[in-house]
Structure 1
Amino acid sequence: MAVRYKVCIDCADPHLLARFWAEALGYVVEDHSTLIKSLLANGVPVEDQVTEIDGRSAWKHAAAVRDPDHPVNPDTGVGQGGRVLFQVVPEVKQVKNRVHLDLHFGPDQVESEVARLCAHGATRLGEGSEGGSRWVVLADPEGNEFCVA
């Protein structure tokens, strides 16, 4: 049986990155407000861990995006398919990522997707090619590198 997983990205502003990556991947930002309301109603002391984003309760230090075509747990808002979690860490990014995402749009769409992502806050860092393949290296709004091919 395959192992379920999520990709976790350390950051300073999880809600900024969740919005950016939802746009980049065609995902949706997970809505954890039902879970938060349930925890609060049951007396779980999470008030200091909660904020309001777009008019609903959200975690202060974490946000996630999910594949909209996969099932979602209605009690938690957590996707049951592809997910990316953004979690606050105290240190800032200082060196090149050891792991990064490659977004495959196809050779005819590379430049238009790079322009779209840059309009949403990405920064173009460079490009590369090997064995007939070409890609553009970008950074998300917090400097995490990823490639568009």
Structure 2
Amino acid sequence: MASFISHLSIDCSDAYSLSEWWKPVLGYEDEPGDPNLPGHDECLLVDPEGKGPTVLFIEVPEAKSVKNRLHLDLRPRTDLQDTEVERVIAHGATVVADRRGQYGPVTGWVVLADPEGNEFCILRSPAEVQEQPAPVFG
């Protein structure tokens, strides 16, 4: 037997505010019938298409102090990577490291942080991945 991932949990100082920040980034919404409200110490977001994992924000007393050991890698659903990076920065994310093109002209990612400092990456879109030429083996 094996286990499956029920949801991703993100520790934070303000579950409601951080869940509200992440809603437009992921295109997620509150769980139907159980809205997130200010003051809730746990807030759950779900993928309205039912394809992605649920994300649970849990208030903890400790502040973030080191780099995440686990982080989200996001792939734009429709926009190109550059467009998505700019959208999320305009929403309030900060750039931690820009690795676009570091490993060739069509590879790489951008490491960003949410308002509480949790790191996440934005990868290339599915269309950009398909455009990448196949490797040539000698």
Higher strand share: 1
Q: Quick check: 1:12 aligned with 2:8?
A: no
* Residue pair 1:19, 1:29 contacting (<8 A) in 2 also: no
Question: 1:141 corresponds to which residue?
Answer: 115
Q: Quick check: 1:26 aligned with 2:27?
A: yes
Partner SS state of residue 18, structure 1: helix
Question: 2:132 corresponds to which residue?
Answer: none
CA–CA distance in structure 1, aligned partners of residues 58 and 24 of structure 2: 18
State the 1:2 CA deviation.
6.2
Alignment of 1:30-69 (within 5 A): 30=31, 31-33=33-35, 52-53=37-38, 60-69=40-49
1:7-66 deviation digits (Å, cap 9, x = unpaired): 000000111111122111111123525xxxxxxxxxxxxxxxxx954xxxxx62011110
Higher RCO by CA contacts (8 Å cutoff, separation 6 or greater): 1
The AA in structure 1 aligned to 2:14 is: D
Higher helix share: 1
Question: 2:136 corresponds to which residue?
Answer: none
The AA in structure 2 aligned to 1:66 is: V
Partner SS state of residue 17, structure 2: helix
Structure 1, unpaired ranges of 5+: 34-50, 54-58, 71-79
Partner SS state of residue 80, structure 2: helix
CA–CA distance in structure 2, aligned partners of residues 6 and 142 of structure 1: 20
Q: Given the superposition, is the C-alpha separation of residues 52 and 67 from structure 1 closer, same or farther in structure 2, using an over 3 Å criterion?
A: closer
CA–CA distance in structure 2, aligned partners of residues 110 and 143 of structure 1: 21
CA RMSD, 1 decimal: 2.5
The AA in structure 1 aligned to 2:57 is: F
Question: 1:114 corresponds to which residue?
Answer: 85
State the 1:85 CA deviation.
0.2
Identity %: 44
CA–CA distance in structure 1, aligned partners of residues 117 and 5 of structure 2: 27
Q: Given the two structures, how large is their TM-score scaled by the length of structure 2?
A: 0.73
Partner SS state of residue 55, structure 2: strand
Q: Given the superposition, is the C-alpha separation of residues 52 and 127 from structure 1 closer, same or farther in structure 2, using an over 3 Å criterion?
A: closer
Structure 2, unpaired ranges of 5+: 124-138
Q: Given the two structures, how large is their TM-score scaled by the length of structure 1?
A: 0.68
CA–CA distance in structure 2, aligned partners of residues 104 and 23 of structure 1: 14
Q: Following TM superposition, where does structure 1 have runs of at least 4 consecutive aligned residues deviating by more than 3 angstroms?
A: 129-132
